[in-house]
Amino acid sequence: MARPIMLAEIHQQPAALEKTLHGALKAAERLKRAIERRRPRLVVLAARGTSDNAALFGRYLLEISTGVPVSLAAPSIFTLYQAQVDLKDALMVAISQSGESTDTNLVLERARELGALTVGITNSPASTLARIPHHRFLVRAGKERSVAATKTYTGQLMALYLLAWALGAPIELDDLKRLPETAAAALELEPEIAERAKGYRYMRETVVVGRGLNYANAYEFALKLMETCYVVAERFSSADFLHGPIAMVETAFPVFLFCPAGPTWPSLKGMLEKLNQLGADTLTITDGSNREAARLAKRAVVLPGKLTVRGPLPAEAYTPIPYIVPAQLFSACLALEKGLNPDQPRALRKVTQTL
């Protein structure tokens, strides 16, 4: 099978991230000035699919770094129930790769009518979403042809870092400028990941575990495995996994874990030790800052070097973009191993419209 477009687009991410950062910075500066005049008491994030996973990351990042409460929107409250929600002092952020997600756009329209300050994050400058909000952040990833979103997901994460910065988060722009470089370093692992994927050719079900800032990556990795490899992939935080679902684990059951160093590592370490006792087939995604995560797992993908930052946020805050790259590569390589075309999953289209 020919090399899929998905792999090509995964490799376009360093350039796309750099373009998104530089291109969206002026929009972030404008939003920062608006927020200085009218600081929101609440942020609401509205999205679907991969964009919803980006929103989950945004929730953690914004609450950790700004202290502003964040909610994930339930679009049916607006689209089906026609509820009147008090959004007078809220910031509503809609995220969509295509900008044509019907319910997400309706949520943004209603939020603006209800008094919210509104922001749109999209990869499509001519889209409906780009026209509705007070402020827009453009992801400059170029046209994404593979149905499985990759470069638009990491571009959305970059835009959410800038959104946090606009809200006053202690994010150093120099730390953001190094993210394209860390993504490029992760891409060098493709030969190793392709070889590892061969051992999972017959995998039919799995669990992906993450916590905190990488919880969203657990959702995104599981989604990629479901849509490109047709694997039944559940996703959990390490805390929730212990509250019942761990009972499904038996000998050789595959479990993937995102394991950065930092505040989430103690609970993830305990999870790995428990999984080892159960005989699970564990694979961790980590970096040189956490060699213990590689040692405890049966298999590991270790990003080269150690992530270092200049600002006050912990290095873990900047791991989600480089950490998802190996997961994307694994999904594409596993699809090829299974004889599947990751660019055209069955029953899916690039733009999905729901109410």
Q: How far is CA 327 from the centre of its chain?
A: 11
Query: Are 100 and 203 in a shared domain?
Result: no
Q: Cβ(207)–Cβ(245) under 8 Å?
A: yes
* Domain-located, residue 348: no
The residue count for the chain: 355
Q: Of 330, 337, 340, which Cα lies nearest the Cα of 7? A: 330
Non-local (6+) Cβ contacts of 346 within 8 A are none
- C-alpha pair distances (Å), 204 with each of 230, 234, 253, 293: 8, 11, 10, 25
Query: Are 51 and 122 in a shared domain?
Result: yes
* Domain-located, residue 352: no
Query: Are 191 and 285 in a shared domain?
Result: yes
* Domain-located, residue 353: no
Q: Cβ(14)–Cβ(183) under 8 Å?
A: yes
Local structure of 151: helix, strand or coil:
helix
Instruction: Give the DSSP H/E element, type plus range, for residue 21.
Output: helix 13-37
Q: What is the pLDDT of residue 179?
A: 97
Distance CA 49, CA 75 (A): 13
In what order do the strands lie in the sheet containing 254-258?
A: 232-237, 205-210, 254-258, 281-287, 299-303
Query: Are 125 and 53 in a shared domain?
Result: yes
Q: Cβ(273)–Cβ(290) under 8 Å?
A: no
Query: Are 9 and 142 in a shared domain?
Result: yes
Q: Of 341, 355, 353, 350, which Cα lies nearest the Cα of 123? A: 350
Q: How far is CA 274 from the centre of its chain?
A: 26
* Domain-located, residue 281: yes
Copy the structure tokens of residue 13: 């991410």
CATH of residue 24's domain is 3.40.50.10490
Range of the domain at 112: 5-171
Query: Are 130 and 239 in a shared domain?
Result: no
Among the candidates 109, 139, 171, a domain finishes at 171
Q: What is the pLDDT of residue 354?
A: 54
Distance CA 197, CA 330 (A): 6
With vertex at residue 325, the alpha carbon angle to CA 338 and CA 232, rounded to the nearest 5 degrees, is: 40
Q: What is the pLDDT of residue 206?
A: 97
Query: Tell me, what DSSP letter sits at residue 168?
Result: T
Q: What is the pLDDT of residue 258?
A: 98
Query: Are 73 and 195 in a shared domain?
Result: no
* Domain-located, residue 53: yes
Q: What is the pLDDT of residue 178?
A: 96
Query: Are 200 and 331 in a shared domain?
Result: yes
Non-local (6+) Cβ contacts of 2 within 8 A are none
Query: Are 162 and 188 in a shared domain?
Result: no
Query: Are 128 and 239 in a shared domain?
Result: no
Q: What is the pLDDT of residue 355?
A: 53
Per-residue model confidence as pLDDT tens digits over 285-340: 999 999 999 999 999 999 998 888 888 999 999 999 999 999 999 999 999 999 99
* Domain-located, residue 79: yes
* Total number of domains in the chain: 2
* Domain-located, residue 287: yes
Q: Of 124, 65, 77, 60, which Cα lies nearest the Cα of 96? A: 124
Q: What is the phi/psi pair of residue 283, to 5°?
A: -135, 125
Q: What is the DSSP string of 73-129?
A: --THHHHTS------TTEEEEEEESSS--HHHHHHHHHHHHTT-EEEEEES-TTSHH
Copy the structure tokens of residue 162: 């800038």
Q: Which pairs with CB-CB distance under 8 Å and at least 24 residues apart come from 128-133? A: 128/99, 128/100, 129/94, 129/96, 129/99, 129/100, 129/101, 129/104, 129/105, 130/99, 132/94, 132/105, 132/108, 133/94, 133/108
Residues of the chain with pLDDT under 70: 1, 346-355
* Domain-located, residue 355: no
pTM: 0.95
Among the candidates 149, 171, 193, a domain finishes at 171
Query: Are 71 and 131 in a shared domain?
Result: yes
Per-residue model confidence as pLDDT tens digits over 44-61: 999 999 999 999 999 999
Place of tokens 């039944």: 232
Query: Are 197 and 109 in a shared domain?
Result: no
